[in-house]
Structure 1
């Protein structure tokens, strides 16, 4: 999940894993090992977050869907609203 989020952020920013590794200060083989093994250390996550200009917690949060109320046009934050 964390690795998927990192990949997603990189894709949205047209950033290759190799470039991410360079920004983090890891060799190409090291960053690919982190990505492929899916078990980065907290220190590595902090470096990746800094390189991507996000917070570490952003790697763990799910994307929320936003719905628009058909009656008033107001945004409803996420699908969990309907489960209550």
Structure 2
């Protein structure tokens, strides 16, 4: 079966994922997409992080750990942690 993402890569196109989730990175799915499907990378911006943080519970522990800090400090801590993975 032909992998359409690899076909795009062969044609000189770079495919980027336009969302982020912590479990995507920690569960190995992102690495699989890179290794097997030729994914070039992931975009990250405040809107993408807002969506990831506000949907689901995977950031609840980090937010609880940072309780007492400003919203900006919590956001930056989460963003830096995820981008550094």
TM-score interval (norm. to shorter): under 0.3
Q: Normalising to structure 1: TM-score of the pair?
A: 0.28
Tell me which structure has the larger Cα radius of gyration: 1
